[in-house]
Amino acid sequence: MRNVLYIFCMKTLVQARIAETLQLSQGTVSRALRNRPGIRPEVRMKVLEVASQLGYQLPSGNQDDLLDTDRGHFIGILLHAPHDRWRSRDGFLSGISAMAPTLDASLVLHHVNTIECESVLLPENQPPVMRRGYMKGLVLIFRWPHKVVQELSQRFACVSVQHEYAGLPIDVVGANHVQAMQDLAKHLYALGHRQIGFVGRCNELSWSRSRFAGYVDALCQHGLEYSPERVIDVATMDLEGYERPIDPWAKHIDRIIAQMNKGVRAWMCSSDFVGYAVCRGLMNRGIRIPEDVSITGFDAIREPSFGCPLLTASAVPQHAMGAAALKVVISRLRRPHEPSHTLFGCSLRVGASTGPAPAK
């Protein structure tokens, strides 16, 4: 009895110290250590980290409780992107967060800068619950190197948002790129455009390949000519650099203008960033948008950039996709299944970057 009382007192003292360090109530600390509902994930993670530093041992059986489907799961949300860019995926994060209470999931957000993304494989760079084995599922946002995803998928149930990884046993929640490109092409066709180009094809990025496939399908659907000269390939780094200067796009703008001189006055771009880069490059050459040429984007998550008009674009339902991603990873934890691919339809957002085809 004396030993039990001693252990109880020591744990109470450590909990009090954690509470003092983090400026929390002792009750909040106690609930966080027991993985009770009502504690924000970021608060729980801080409590666990300080507890580890103080040598606090979770009560017997508590580690199993953390992983019990009746008590909830720790699910990691891993993002890698330039430090000033990852917030553009707030819609995915809000959808995941909204679904978490319903699925009794505790979320751990971990951001890694693009050039350091492989560091997430090293235990010392992982969130504490990840390296200690509490975390069982991961939601991957943005494209990760194939090697990293391969290793993570061997240890965790993984779902990728938007990006596909050939040959790996992970689920994918993405947009219906073909449907979205068909809607954009229909919009341009209704404006009288009969020669349409594509900017931003990249073999390395699955979403770019899918959107290019949608572009080709849409041309066929409307009986329009496909010409390789009207397709502009863009390097991966230029597509993922986000806030890079416009100068690297000069050669692409030259090709676009050459095709414009042959009558191509509408261009479908593989992303909003590409669309705004094209708009700015053309405007720098004195070309008016949309009077002289129409430009479309994809995602509809950016405000107008580089002083350009608001892009006409396919709006990706990020909130719904985020919620679905969490459902899929929890489902895989409870009932292992073959990798699934869930597609969401996109909606057309008509902006100020498209207009009637210029008279010949």
Let me know if residue 43 belongs to a domain.
no
- pLDDT of 10 strictly over 50: no
- pLDDT of 139 strictly over 90: yes
pLDDT for residue 45: 74
Residue 330's H or E segment, with its range, is: helix 318-334
Q: Structure pTM?
A: 0.77
pLDDT classification of 84: cutoffs 50, 70, 90 = low
Summarize pLDDT for 142-167 with one digit per residue, the tens: 889 999 999 999 888 999 999 999 88
How many Cβ atoms sit within 10 Å of the Cβ of residue 230?
A: 22
Contact 188, 196 (CB under 8 A): yes
DSSP state of 122: S
Contact 40, 109 (CB under 8 A): no
pLDDT classification of 181: cutoffs 50, 70, 90 = very high
pLDDT for residue 38: 64
pLDDT classification of 265: cutoffs 50, 70, 90 = very high
CATH code, domain carrying 254: 3.40.50.2300
| Number of structural domains the chain divides into | 1
Let me know if residue 162 belongs to a domain.
no
pLDDT for residue 43: 78
Provide DSSP, 257-308: HHHHTTT--EEEESSHHHHHHHHHHHHHTT--TTTT-EEEEEE--SPP-TTP
Lowest mean pLDDT among 37-41, 171-175, 225-229, 244-248: 244-248
Let me know if residue 63 belongs to a domain.
no
How far is it, in rounded angstroms, from Cα 351 to Cα 297? 10
pLDDT for residue 217: 97
Lowest mean pLDDT among 103-112, 176-185, 201-210, 348-357: 103-112
- pLDDT of 8 strictly over 50: no
Summarize pLDDT for 29-40 with one digit per residue, the tens: 777 777 665 677
Phi, psi values for residue 27, rounded to 5°: -65, -40
Let me know if residue 94 belongs to a domain.
no
Q: Is 169 or 335 the better-scoring residue by pLDDT?
A: 169
- pLDDT of 5 strictly over 60: no
- pLDDT of 4 strictly over 50: no
- State the average pLDDT over residues 74-100: 78
Let me know if residue 49 belongs to a domain.
no
pLDDT for residue 64: 40
Let me know if residue 66 belongs to a domain.
no
pLDDT for residue 221: 95
- pLDDT of 9 strictly over 80: no
pLDDT for residue 113: 77
- pLDDT of 312 strictly over 70: yes
Tell me whether residue 190 is exposed, middle or buried, using C-beta atoms within 10 angstroms of its C-beta: 0 to 12, 13 to 18, 19 or more: exposed
- State the average pLDDT over residues 189-197: 98
Closest CA to 235 of 255, 205, 266: 205
The domain of 275 spans 177-316
Let me know if residue 258 belongs to a domain.
yes
Let me know if residue 357 belongs to a domain.
no
